[in-house]
Structure 1
Amino acid sequence: MRIFTIGDQTLEESSLEFRTLLADAYKQRHRPMCMCKEPAVAMYIARLEDQYLIKRMPLSGRDHDPACPSYEPPYELSGLGPLIGNAIQIDPSGRADLKLDFSLTKRGARSAAVEAAEPSEHGIRSEPRKLSLRAMLHYLWEAGELTEWRSAWAGRRGWGRVRTSLINAATQMTARGGPLSDMLFVPEVFHPEDKDGIASRRAAALKGVQATGSGSRKLMMIVAEVKEFSAAREGHKIVVRHMPFPLMIEDGAWRRLAARYEAELELWRSSEPLHLIFIATFGISNAGIATVEEVALMVVNEHWLPFEDIHELRLLEKLSHLKRKSVKGLRFNLPRNAPIVSVTLPEQKPAPVAMFIVPASAGEQYEHALTDMISARPEITPWVWRVVHGDMPRLP
C-alpha cells in the first residue's frame, strides 16, 4: 500500500481521510509525495470522471522503488531513451518541455503529407533532438500510463478513460512556449443526452484552427480512433469515432499513408476488437472543412495496448490474464530494424523481466545491438523470443 505526504499530512492511500484530502489537494494544485523512497518522489493528481488519481510525473517512474506500483521500467530499453534530455527536457517544476519535429502552422498552398519524420522500412532519420508525430503519440500513450496493464482492469478501459489519460498527460507537458493541452484535441465520447454540450465544447476547442482569411494560420494535433476510411470526390475521408464530421486527406497523401502503414492497416482490418489510432496535425478551412496536414497511425488491441505485429499481439494476449502488471515498450523515433523491449514485467520476482521479440529478419547488427541493450541493464532479467526458432518460449 502506497503512503503519500500532501502538505503536512502523511496518509495511506486506502484511508478515508486520504480520499477527502486528495479532492482538496487537486483544487489547490498540491503535489503528493510518494514515500516509497528517500527522498520522496513528486507526483500529480489527475481527475478521471468523478475520481481523483495520483499519477507519475513525466519520466519519474524509475525514481520509485521497484516494489512501488508507480515504478516504471528504465526508458533506455525503449525508443524513449535517445529522446531524454534532447527532444524531452524536464524543467524544475517536473514538467516535460517537448521539441517537436512537425509544424503547427500552415503557410501558403497546402501540401499535405504523411508525417515526414515517420520511418520507412528501409531507413529513418532517427533524430533524438525532436519528437516526430509518431513519437509524440507514443509519448502521450506512455505518459498517460496507457502502456500498462493488469488483468483486474479488464472491461474498465474504454475511449472515455483513454481520452482522460491523454489529456491529463498533456497537462504536464509544454511545447513551443505553451501548454501542450492547448494544442491537442481528443474527441469526447458521444452521449445523445449531452450532444449540445459536446458540440459547444468541441467548437470552443477548435476555434483557434478555424481559418478566418488568407495567410498563415494555426494547426492543432488530434488523437482519435479511426472508424473507417472512405473515398471522397477528391482524395479520402478519415471518419473519426465520436466526431460528427470527417477529416479530409488528399489523394497523394492517402496513397503514401496506405503504403507506409500497410502493416498497421492489415492488422487492424484482420480483427474486429482491434482499434486504429491516428495522430494528425489539422486545420479547418474558411468553408468549415477539417483537413489533415501530417498524420501517423498506431494499432492497439482491445485493451488499447499498442503492438507492431502478430507476435506482439500474441504475447499481449498471454500476459493480459496475469494479475501482475505488464508495461508495453514503444518505438518512438526508432526504426523497425532497431531492437526495443516489447514488454516489461516490473513486478516479477526476484527481478523485473524485459521481454524481447527478435523478428525473423534480424541480422548480425540487430543481435549485437540487442546484446548491448541487455548487458547495459544487468539488474533486469531478459526473456527472448526468436521468432525463427519457433513458438513462444514459456513465460517467466
Structure 2
Amino acid sequence: MILVLGLSFFLIMLIGAPIMTALGLSAAMALQSGDRSLLIVVQMAFQSLDSFSLMAVPFFILAGHLMQSGGVARRLVQLANAFVGWIRGGLGAVAVLTSLLFATVSGSSSATTAAIGSVLIPEMEKKGYPRSFAASIAASSGELGAIIPPSIPMIVYALTANVSVGALFIAGILPGLLIAVSLILTVCVIASIKGFDEVRALSLKDWTKGVLVALRDATLALMMPVIILGGIYGGLFTPTEASCIAVLYGLALGMFVYKEITLKNLLGIFGRAAVMSAIILLIVAFAAVFAYLLTINQVPQRVAATLGSVTTSPFAFLLLVNGMLFVVGMFIEALAAILIIVPILAPISMSFGIDPIHFGMIVITNLAVGMVTPPVGVNLFVVCEVAQLKMHQLARYLVIFLAVLIVDILIISYVPALSRAFL
C-alpha cells in the first residue's frame, strides 16, 4: 500500500497535477490496492476539516485580501520608504520591510508576495534595479508572510502537532525579524557593489518629519496586528475569533475610512478569497487522508527507528531534519508538507528533547524557504507572473538570497532562545 501511495503521488505530481489532486488520488489508489473502502477518503477528509481552529484560515485569507485591496499595502510601502528609502539599496530594503509589515495582516506568503511585488517591482526597475533582482527580493521577502504572525501555516502546524497557536505566533516574531534584517543587509550589500539606487542626502529633521507623516497615514493599518495579537495573548478571544475581528476591521478600514473598497469590487474580493480558501482546505483534507495511510502502515515508527539508528545527537538530528525539509519544500506545498511530515517528525523531535514550539519554527521556516525554491516554489510562480519573467531568469540573484536564508534557518535551529524569547 505504501509503495502504491508513494509512486502514484510522485507520478501524478510529475504530470503537473495540483498537489491536492496528487494527495487525493494517490490515497484512493493506495486504499484500492489494499482492498480498503474508499469511504475512508470521505470520512478522514471531513474529520480533518471539522475543526473550530481551522475556521481561522479562510477568515485570515479574507482579511488579507481586504487589506490588499483597501489601500493598506500602499500605506505600508510609504511607511517603509520613510524609514529606509534614503539608504543605498533603499527601495529593495523598502520591499523587505513592507513585506514584514504586510505579513502582520495577511497571514499568507503568496498574498504578501503578490501585494508587495505588484507595487514595488516596477518602482525598483525605475531606480535601475534589474527586473530579476527586484523579483528575487519580492519572492524572498514574501516568505515572511508564513513566519510573522498571524500565519496560516502556523495555524495548520498547531492543529497537526497539538500545540498552542498563540505560542507559535509569539515564537515567530524574532525569527521573522532575523530573516528580514538579513535580507535587508543582503540587498544593501548587492546594491552597493552593483551601484543600484544611490543614497539620498536627508537631514535628521526631514527624515523625522517623513516618518511621522507616514506613521500617521499608516496608524490604522498597523493597529490590526496589535488588536489581533493583543487580543489573543490577552485572553480576550481565540485565534479563530481574532480572524473574524480582522475581517470586520479590514472591511471597515477599506470601505469607510480609506474608501478604496466599493460595493462593486467587494464581490471580487470575496470571490478571490473563497477560491484561495477552497484550495487550502482541500489540501488540508486530502493531506489528512495521506497522513492517515502513513500512520496505519507505521511509517512514523519506521522513520523514528531509522533516525534513532543513524544518530543519538540532537545536533545531528536537526541537521538531518533541515536537509530533509529543504528537499521536501522544493517539491511539496508547505501546508501539505506540514500535514504529512509533522505527525512523523514531531514525536521524534520530542524524544531528542527538542521543544515542540522551537521545532515548529524550524519546520515552518524551512517550508517557507521552500516557497522560493524551484520547481514548486509558490512565491516564484507569483512573482514571475507579476514581473513577466521565466523562473530561470531569477537564478542569478535568487541563489544569493537562498544562501542567506539557509544560514538564517541554521541560526533558528541551533539557537532555540530565538523562538522561546517571549514565551
TM-score tier after normalising by the smaller chain length: under 0.3
Structure in which a larger fraction of residues adopt strand: 1
Structure in which a larger fraction of residues adopt helix: 2
- Which has the higher relative contact order, 1 or 2, with Cα contacts under 8 A spaced 6 or more apart? 2
TM-score w.r.t. the length of structure 1 is 0.28
